[in-house]
Each structure stands twice: as structure tokens, then as C-alpha cells.
Chains A and B, each alone.
Chain A
Amino acid sequence: MHERLSFYVKRDSFLHRLNPLTKLTLVFGLILIAFGSPWYWTPHGIVLLVIFPLSFLGKVQREYFQAAVRLILPAAGFLFVMQALFQPGGETVLVRLWLLTITQESLLFAFSNAMRIFVMVSSFTLFLLTTHPSELMSDLTRRGLPGQFAYVIISTLQIIPQMQAKAQTIIAAQRSRGLDTQSSFGKRVGALVPLVGPLVFGSLVEVEERAIAIEARGFTSRRPKTSLYEIPDSALDKALRWGLIALVVASLASRFLFD
């Protein structure tokens, strides 16, 4: 149950140095192009020609391919198999298995869908590997995102591991008292209450104290806050962002022109 709570890998690379907003634009740009472009091979091209090279450029290729094998391939693969088998329609029958038929059309449909999902999840993974969450939040706050949102996201990322540890302790404690968490369905449902109760009530009690603490530190103050870290936003960043927006518009426009 203990997962690493941020994908971020600290390296010094071109991708790491880019402004977080530029990388975010890149993520949404790639997704929109993959879903919006009228050509069948666009998502495949993006994976091979953009996402794979970017992972090397960001010096996170090892972590990226690990994530791809562990998270992205199972989901996309399952999607591909299910859709290839069960998508109705299509004329050219390739294989006939018992009740199921695989047609060329359903195979192509499944493949392009799986690739789109692959592009979507991959580009997010790449973004998360090269951007520290607090860097992203301070940059967005500087651009006008209310500070409360940054507080919620950053503090959640800290609270989840604490709570997972607490859940582990509670599960261990209840098991040592003889709580059955593995046998029949009824017993497992019954185990929910002694596990959830202490966990949820324990965490809710802390809420009030924390509210008083951050209130005392000017949480609701409206005055502009200064930041200790300066996040670079170069001319290259701006150029890249505009270039990406132009590309997205072009691919969406081409969909209307060629469809």
C-alpha cells in the first residue's frame, strides 16, 4: 500500500529547467493533437517521435519506461484486447474465435484508441517525472491561482502518506486483536467499521487544530505574498507555449478541413 507519493525525479536536464506552465501546455497540447488530428497515425507518431525522445531529453527514460510498463501498458493493453474482441461492426473478418470475431476495422479502432490513451497518460507521466509539485504550484500561484488551491494540493500530498502509515498501524493493531480481514465476504465487510472508524475520526480531529494554526499565520490574508524561490520563465518558454498553441489550433482546424 505504500506508494511513492510523487513521481518527481531530481535531475538536471532541459525538461527540468523549463517553466512548469510550458510543460503543462505541452501535455495538453499533445493530448488535444492526439485526439483531434484527423490522421490515423498521429497518436503513434507522437509516441515515437515526441514522447520517447522527450523522455531521453529529460534524462528520465529509465523511470518513464518503468512507469509505462507498470501503469500505462496494462491499462492500454486491456483496453486494446477488450475493444478488439468486443467492438461490433466491420466487414473484413480476420479471426473467428468461438462466438467472437475480430475484424480488421475493430482491430484498427482498438489500436488507435489504446494509442490515444497511451499518449494521454504518457505525457502526464513525463510531466510529473520532471516537475516538482510545489514548483508547479508556486508558479501557478504567481500567475493568479488562489493560494488556497496550492495549499490543498501540497498539503494533501503530505497528508496521504501519513494517513497510509496510520491505516497500516490500525490494520496491524486490529489484526493482532483477532480481526479477520481475509476470510469470508461477510467478515471482510464487518472488518470495514473497526478499520475506518479510528482512521477517519483520528484524522478529522486534527482539522480544527490545523485551522487555528494556519489562521494565525495569515492564511486568509488578501495581501500579496512574497516567494522565497524564483521560478525561471525564459523567452524560449514563451515561444514554445505559443508554438504549441498554434500547433493545436492547426490540428483541430485540419480536422474540419479534411473530415
Chain B
Amino acid sequence: MKFISSIKKDFNTMTWVLLPVAIAINVVMGQIVVLLKLPVYLDSIGTMLVGALCGPWAGALTGTLSNIIWGLAIDPNAFPWWPVAFFIGLVTGFCAKGGLFKSWWKVVITGFLVALTAAIVSTPIAVYLYGGITASGSSFITAYLLQTGQGVLQAVFSTNFLVEPVDKISTALLAFAILQGLSRRFLARFPRPENVEVETGASRTELFIAIGVVIVLVLIAAFVLVKILG
């Protein structure tokens, strides 16, 4: 039962108290972005913060409860999307555990991986629950792709894949900036402060490797996308 006890260790009192604050950050940030009329959602900053600081399962729980509370308090349309939020928290947590939350370019990779997961998870929900076209603005792209003769699954997935990375990478970068602004003493009270410790003296070659990795990831993704569409 090593697995369960490792999860339990991630849920100390600090985690339980951080959860409501993180969920509130998700909700209020989502509303500030609407107020500023920016073309992103940024409504999972809190989820990513918890995922990085308290482990994947705490992140997953934050995401799920965020959607439940969004549905309870603001808009019942949010309920069916909880699996997406669940995986956003989970993937962020695993990336942070693997050391991908320690410098800005690694955080970009985390954001990209999260976006990919979110695109994959939200596709079946959009297709089977809403019949492909949902009540969000990006559905116009889906509709266009459907008209060009794409299958529903492909059309929805490509739309998500076009929309998600911008949002998730900026969310991850913002979460990273917030973590950098917090004191070490404060971070040390959470279960996994080592996840977000900044690496000092990242060398130039490392940066080039990172840029290479990002380019390769984008190429692979583009290749997969073309395969699906073609």
C-alpha cells in the first residue's frame, strides 16, 4: 500500500486549506480574464499551483472540485467538464514531480503536455455529450472543419488542439511566476516544495536542448494532427 500512503502524505492540513483558496483563484481569475476581454481562460492557475506544490492527486482533486463548485455556484453548464480539470491537475503534478516545473522553459513543456491531455480528454465529452459542437466560441472552428468533410472526432480534436496550448502554456507560466514570488519558508510547509525549487545557472546548451525538445514536440503533434486529418 505504498501508493496510498504516498497519496495520504500529500494531503496534510496545509493542502486541505490551500484547496479552497486555489479553487477560488481559478474562479476569480476566470472572471478577471473575461473582464479584461483576453482570448484565454486562465481558469486553472489554482489547479496547477496545487498540482505542482502538493502532488498530482491533490491537483486532480482541485480541478474536479473547481468544476463542481463552478457548477454549484455560478453555472450548472460546468459540471460535465470535470474530467478535463481532473487531468489538468494530474498531469501538472506528474510533470512537476519529474522536474518540469523548475525553470520557465520547462514550464512551457509542462503547459504543452497539459494542453495535449486537455484536448484529448475534452474531445469525447464534446462529441458524446454535446454532439460535437458545444456552446463555446471555438465551436465555429469545429463547425468549419465539419463542413469541409471531417469526421466529428477529428474536427473536435483539431479544434481543441488549436485552442488549448496558448491557454495552458500561459496558465502554467503564470502559476510558475506566482510560485517564484512566494517565500521559501512558506513553500516549505507544503508537501512537495522541492518540485518548484528553481534551478540556478541553467547553462546555454541546456536552453538549446529545451528549445529543440519543444520544436520536436510541436512537430510530432503537427504530424499526428495531419495524420488524423488526412
Taking beta carbons and an 8 Å cutoff, which residues of A are in contact with B?
A: 1, 3, 5-7, 35, 71-72, 74-76, 78-79, 82-83, 85-88, 99-100, 109-110, 113, 117, 120-121, 124-125, 128, 133, 148-149, 151-153, 155-157, 159-160, 162-164, 167, 171, 181, 185, 188-189, 191-192, 195-197, 199-201, 203-208, 210-211, 214-215, 219-220
The answer to whether residues A152 and B77 also contact, given A1-B35, A167-B32, A181-B35 and a CB cut-off of 8 A, is: no
* A1 cross-chain contacts in B, Cβ below 8 A: 31, 35
The answer to whether residues A88 and B149 also contact, given A3-B73, A83-B133 and a CB cut-off of 8 A, is: yes
Q: How many residues on chain B are close to A (CB under 8 Å)?
A: 54
Which chain B residue has the least Cβ–Cβ distance from A6? B73
Q: Give Cα A181 to B69, complex, Å.
A: 28
Which chain B residue has the least Cβ–Cβ distance from A148? B16
The answer to whether residues A211 and B13 also contact, given A71-B75, A79-B133, A117-B130 and a CB cut-off of 8 A, is: yes
Q: Give the shortest distance, in Å, between A79 (CB) and chain B (any CB).
A: 5
Taking beta carbons and an 8 Å cutoff, which residues of B are in contact with A?
A: 11, 13-14, 16-21, 23-25, 27-29, 31-33, 35-38, 45, 65, 68-69, 71-77, 79-80, 129-135, 139, 142-143, 146-147, 149, 174, 178, 181-182, 186, 189
Cross-chain contact B135 with A75 (CB below 8 angstroms): yes
Cross-chain contact A196 with B147 (CB below 8 angstroms): no
What are 26 inter-chain pairs, A to B, with CB distance below 8 A? A1-B35, A5-B73, A7-B72, A7-B73, A71-B75, A71-B77, A86-B147, A87-B133, A87-B146, A120-B79, A151-B20, A152-B19, A153-B68, A159-B21, A164-B31, A171-B32, A181-B36, A185-B38, A188-B36, A192-B38, A195-B32, A196-B29, A203-B24, A207-B17, A208-B14, A211-B189
Given A117-B129, A201-B182, 11 new contacts (CB under 8 A): A79-B135, A88-B149, A100-B147, A133-B72, A157-B73, A160-B73, A162-B24, A188-B38, A189-B36, A205-B186, A208-B14
Cross-chain contact A124 with B71 (CB below 8 angstroms): yes
Cross-chain contact A211 with B14 (CB below 8 angstroms): yes
The answer to whether residues A124 and B76 also contact, given A181-B35, A207-B14 and a CB cut-off of 8 A, is: yes
Contact of B143 among A82, A189, A214 (CB under 8 A): A82
Cross-chain contact A163 with B28 (CB below 8 angstroms): yes
